[in-house]
Amino acid sequence: MPEFLLELLTEEIPARMQARAAEDLCRLVGDALKPIAQGAPQGFHGPRRIGLVMQVAARAETAAKEERGPRTNAPEAALAGFLKKHGVGREALTQQGDFWVLVKPGSSMEAAALIAAALPEILWNFPWPKSMRWGESGFLWVRPLQRILCLLDGAVVPFALARGDDAAHGLASGDITEGHRVHGPGALRVTDHVTQLRERFVIVDAAERVALIRDGIAALAAAEGLEVVPDEGLLNEVAGLVEWPVPLLGRIDDAYMDLPAEVMRTSMRVNQRYFALRHPDGRAAARFAVVANIAATDGGAALVAGNERVLRARLSDARFFWDQDRRAGLESFLPKLDGVVFHAKLGTQGQRVARLERLARMLAPMVGADANTAARAAKLCKADLASGMVGEFPELQGVMGGYYAAGEGAVIAGAIAQHYRPMGPGDAVPTEPVAATVALADKLDQLIGFFDVGEKPTGSGDPFALRRAALGVIRILREGGLRLPLRDVLPHHLTYVRMTRATLGAEAMAPPAELVAELLAFLFDRLRVQLRAEGARADIITAAIGDDDDILRVLARAEALKSLLDTDTGTALLAAYKRAQNILRAEAKKGFSAGAPDATAFATAEESALHSAITAAHQAAAKHLAAEDFSAAMTSLAALRAPLDAFFDGVLVNDPTHRDNRLRLLSALVDAMHQVADLSKIEA
């Protein structure tokens, strides 16, 4: 089976674009070559090249087929339209019975011809996030495209990018690639792509480069009794910067080891793409790892020395900001926040801090925190945004505030440092009450504010990370076991958001009740997403939510409902509920209106027994629900099974004499079950 190889050699591609570009190339080429594809394309990417390999058939074969046209006695206009649609004359038709039939012959196209026809259009319209022109051509690419390697079973598939008067730099396909700029420069005629490039110091597979970097740095660190600070993002980025990774260790000047570990790590990562090392007990080590793109003859000594000099300069800058910020003090940055815009429709960071302070004071008693301490932490939590260090390294927001607030005490400093958490699924949530309070205030203000100005997430984007904020609220409440009456909190804080907006000349706004309902729906939708990811049934979650606003209560109700439905009794009750609902729904269309059943009008013992069981179950369930004992409430419903079975076995609901009263009995049954959970949401 022929193998198709495509490689696009360019000047250095930004690391962040490489993997997506390889995926796009595989998708576009795979779609274009479907008639000959014998499996999915396998992409590869690196600093100077993206490409793919795929197995294809030698030819694209299309079978002959017949298409029936108008009847032989159809108007002439109908026949003319059919002929025009297919671009043929009357002589191409044959008569079969009462119809004209067009026989379309099969076609055959060589794989090479199909590839040569498809690729120029794909390359001219390739979806780079950013691209550039060079020279006089209108052809766009992320960086100047230098060579196109295109082979089918080892032979060149010839095509050129020229289009009309645009020569596209004379770019055309061939069998030439290039190796490492230093160790394997110059043109290379390809016969065995991966092997030949490896011999010229290029590792084509990105996953292999990642493994070499990870394992190489870990081995160097272990030799000195150290470990690498995990950083998958940096690992993948560096793998996109080097073709021949050579890990090396350098030393950090002892004069900078008193800087916070986060400052050193961020400076090394952001400015130089260095990996931080640490001792097994977590202390920062005076060592860093750098990945070279060449195998130096001196073992990398000169490279390490040069990187150590650069790092000293970088850390010297960091020390300047560290010393300057500490001298100023955290509270001194607060006035500067009045000049920092948070959002044009939501005011400045200073106005936001005032809202956070109020909200934290309100939330504190609900979270078990001291209100004054929480308000103080909220007041200072954004102050570091005006500091020199965060201005240089925005990634350190919150972290630096925690350091600069050391004089405020450990509780306030910790709350400031942690209030952005959780930053993602793997990030821990703040558990100390003041920290949890400030983190909740930050996320709830973000959600309420952006929803109020119409900046809501869409299917294609979430520019203000509101989904992450909602999941953060949910995780803090779940993992902290915290009860928060959202229907009270959300409208209360919305008032302060709108006070800020009023000072900005805010436009018309949605009614508060409507906005709160939308926010609750958004939060519980995020809860459903999270629980589904954990393996929970979406229908049980939806049934448990109802109109509740307490996340912990919803979770407890869902767990109790699941336990009931996992039993035979639960299955039988659900079936009976569905049967009753279907009967009532059908009768409602005929004009039936529910009401209380008349116990004196029951004609059978089964009706009386079911009515007594419903009354008892309703009262017992209400009592258990008030105590939030959801398991006991579900058990109360289980007592309905026997009288329900007897009722449906022995009673004809649609008996004209007793029909309305029996329908009201079923309505009472549904009401009793609804108070526990909305079983209509459960999928049978």
* Model confidence pLDDT, tens digit, residues 460-488: 889 999 999 999 999 999 999 999 999 99
Q: Residue 227 pLDDT more than 90?
A: yes
Asked whether residue 105 carries a pLDDT value surpassing 80, the answer given is no
Residue 210 domain-assigned (yes or no) = no
Q: What is the pLDDT of residue 106?
A: 59
Q: Is 540 a member of any domain? A: no
pLDDT of 108 over the 80 cut:
no
Q: Is the pLDDT confidence value at 77 over 90? A: no
What is the average per-residue pLDDT within 340-357? 96
Residue 221 φ then ψ, to 5°: -65, -45
What pLDDT is recorded for position 684?
64
- What CATH number is associated with residue 635? 1.10.730
Please tell me whether residues 26 and 87 are part of one structural domain: no
Query: Region 561-584: what's the mean pLDDT?
Result: 88
Range with the largest mean pLDDT of 326-340, 453-467, 558-572: 326-340
User: What's 351's domain CATH number?
Assistant: 1.10.3210
| pLDDT score at 107 | 65
Contacts 24+ apart (CB under 8 A), 456-459: 456/522
Amino acid at 57: A
pLDDT of residue 63: 63
Q: Quick check: is 206 in a domain? A: no
Residue 46 C-beta-side C-alpha neighbours within 13 Å: 28
pLDDT category, 577, cuts 50, 70, 90? confident
Using CA atoms, how far residue 393 sits from 274, 333, 340, 387, 539, in Å, is: 16, 16, 17, 10, 45
In the chain, the amino acid numbered 657 is T
Q: Per-residue pLDDT tens for 306-317?
A: 999 999 999 999
Q: Could you list the residue range(s) of the whole structural domain that residue 481 is in? A: 331-535
Regarding whether 307 and 415 lie in a shared domain, the answer is no
The pLDDT value recorded for residue 64 is: 65
From 199, 226, 245, the end of a domain falls on 199
Q: Is the peptide bond before 70 cis (omega within 30 degrees of 0)?
A: no
Q: What pLDDT, on a 0 to 100 scale, did the predictor assign at position 460?
A: 82
Mean pLDDT of 621-646: 90
541 assigned to some structural domain: no
Q: What angle do CA 159, 161, 164 make, to 5 degrees?
A: 115
Domain boundary among 282, 300, 328: 328
Checking if the pLDDT of 422 tops 80, the result is yes
With respect to residue 546, please indicate whether it lies within any of the assigned structural domains.
no
**pLDDT reported for residue 535:** 87
% of the chain with per-residue pLDDT over 70: 99
If asked whether residues 530 and 621 sit together in one domain, one would say no
Instruction: Name which of 85-94, 198-207, 557-566, 626-635 the model is least confident about.
Output: 85-94
> Which residues does residue 39 pair with via DSSP β-bridges, in sequence order?
none
If asked whether residues 31 and 138 sit together in one domain, one would say yes
Q: Helix or strand or coil: residue 458?
A: strand
Write the burial class of residue 412 (CB in 10 Å: 0-12 exposed, 13-18 middle, 19+ buried).
buried
Mean of pLDDT values over 127-151: 96
Chain segment 520-552, per-residue pLDDT in tens: 999 999 999 898 888 888 889 888 888 889 999
Name the least confident of 42-51, 233-242, 500-509: 500-509
288 and 428 housed in the same domain:
no
- Rounded CA-CA distance 476/457 in Å is 21
Task: Please report whether residue 324 resides in a domain.
Answer: yes
Q: Is 140 a member of any domain?
A: yes
Average pLDDT over residues 254-275: 96
pTM of the model: 0.83
Average pLDDT, the chain: 93
Residue 476 and residue 416 share a domain: yes
d(CA 120, CA 627): 70
> Which residue, 273, 304, 328, sits at the end of a domain?
328
Does residue 580 share a domain with residue 497? no
Same domain, yes or no, for 343 and 317? no
345 in the same domain as 411: yes
| Interval 557-564 mean pLDDT | 91
Q: What is the pLDDT of residue 430?
A: 97
Find out whether 681 and 591 touch, Cβ atoms under 8 Å.
Answer: no
Question: Rounded to whole angstroms, how far apart are CA atoms 139 and 167?
Answer: 9
pLDDT of residue 411: 97
Would you tell me how many other CB atoms lie within 10 Å of the CB of residue 650? 11
pLDDT over 80 at 61, yes or no? no
317 with 459, same domain? no
Residue 84 has pLDDT above 70, yes or no: yes
| Count: domains in the chain | 5
- Say yes or no: 500 and 372 in one domain: yes
Rounded to the nearest 10 degrees, what angle do helices 371-380 and 433-452 cross at? 60
Consecutive H or E run containing 640: none
pLDDT greater than 70 at residue 39: yes
- Domain contains 273: yes
* Distance of alpha carbon 351 from alpha carbon 348, whole angstroms: 5
Dist CA 393 CA 416 (whole Å): 17
My answer on whether 85 and 115 are in the same domain is no
Q: Write down the pLDDT at residue 680.
A: 87
Q: In which region does residue 34 sit, left (phi positive, over 0), alpha (psi from -120 to 50) or beta (all else)?
A: alpha
